[in-house]
């Protein structure tokens, strides 16, 4: 498979960058080809503009969509910020996975305009896993992202991995990075659990 990894972190020495590298190393060890979208290094503009609102596809968005088009699997790596996505990832998702290109309806998250792709979210988080689970944060993120958002984009199967305790001990961080490598190494192939729709030209009345 061809695997696209999308990294959201300005610091190459960050845990998030290390997680992306380990995931990619695992995927490459499994024989997959690999491509990195390093959003900060490349200066992606996450601001949703008037052009985006008007349905115009600007060149930077088109370049990201071309990357996605050649990928069979996609992995987003971003640190958990206030129980959500950092603004760079949020803007990349908002602008690139646009209405009319990724999806065309909001009443069924299992219908996408895109072909099925394996989808992985690797999310370093400062909190410990017991804190995240006790308070229900993990469940709410899984509902919003795995069950919600990324279904519209045709990701199937899709998997969210919260890398809890990413600011913890060396041993903890080592174990989390090993887990990222393993996830890359054992990437499943895309399945057809989500239904695709074929776009037709609008009927002229």
Ligand X SMILES: Cc1cc2nc3c(=O)[nH]c(=O)nc-3n(C[C@H](O)[C@H](O)[C@H](O)COP(=O)(O)O)c2cc1C
Residue 111-150 contact track with ligand X, rule CB under 6 A, x = bound: -------------xxxx-----------------------
Q: Pick the binder of ligand X from 12, 25, 67, 81 (CB under 6 A).
A: 81
24 contributes a contact to ligand X by CB under 6 A: no
| 167/186 with CB nearer ligand X | 167
User: Closest by alpha carbon to 31, among 205, 189, 194?
Assistant: 189
Cα distances from 79 to residues 19, 82, 93, 145, 184, in angstroms, run 10, 10, 15, 15, 18
> What is the torsion angle, in degrees rounded to the nearest 10, for the CA atoms of residue 195, residue 121, residue 21 and residue 64?
50
- Binding to ligand X by residue 170, rule CB under 6 A? no
Instruction: Report in angstroms how near the CB of residue 23 gets to ligand X at its nearest.
Output: 13
Instruction: DSSP for 82-151, please give it.
Output: TTB--HHHHHHHHHHS-BTTTBS-SS-TTEESSPPEEEEEEEEESS-HHHHHHTTHHHHHIIIIIIIIHH
How far apart CA 42 and CA 46 sit, in angstroms, is 12
| Number of residues in contact with ligand X under rule CB under 6 A | 15
Phi, psi of 90 (to 5 degrees): -60, -45
Residue 10 interacting with ligand X (CB under 6 A): no
Stretch that binds ligand X, among 8-16, 65-73, 93-101, 184-192 (CB under 6 A): 8-16
Is residue 92 close enough to count as binding ligand X by CB under 6 A? no
What's the length of the chain?
Answer: 205
One residue of 3, 7, 8, 9 binding ligand X per CB under 6 A: 9
Q: Smallest distance, Å, CB 105 to ligand X?
A: 31
172 binds ligand X (CB under 6 A): no
Query: Which of 167, 186, 191, 196 forms a contact with ligand X (CB under 6 A)?
Result: 167
Residues that bind ligand X (CB under 6 A): 9, 14-16, 79-83, 124-127, 166-167
């Amino acid at each position: 498979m061809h695997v696209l990894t999308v990294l959201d972190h300005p610091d190459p020495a960050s845990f998030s960058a290390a997680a992306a590298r380990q995931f990619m190393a695992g995927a490459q060890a499994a024989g997959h080809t690999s491509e990195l979208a390093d959003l900060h290094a490349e200066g992606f503009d996450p601001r949703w503009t008037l052009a985006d609102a008007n349905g115009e596809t600007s060149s930077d968005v088109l370049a990201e969509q071309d990357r996605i088009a050649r990928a069979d699997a996609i992995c987003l790596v971003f640190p958990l910020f206030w129980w959500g996505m950092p603004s760079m990832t949020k803007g990349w998702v908002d602008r690139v996975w646009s209405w009319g290109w990724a999806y065309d309806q909001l009443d069924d998250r299992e219908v996408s305009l895109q072909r099925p792709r394996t989808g992985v979210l690797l999310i370093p988080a400062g909190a410990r896993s017991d804190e995240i689970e006790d308070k229900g944060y993990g469940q709410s993120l899984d509902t919003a992202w795995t069950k919600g958002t990324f279904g519209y984009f045709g990701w199937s199967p899709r998997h969210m991995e919260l890398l809890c305790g990413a600011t913890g001990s060396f041993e903890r961080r080592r174990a989390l990075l090993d887990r990222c490598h393993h996830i890359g190494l054992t990437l499943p192939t895309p399945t057809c659990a989500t239904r695709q729709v074929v776009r037709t030209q609008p009927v002229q009345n």
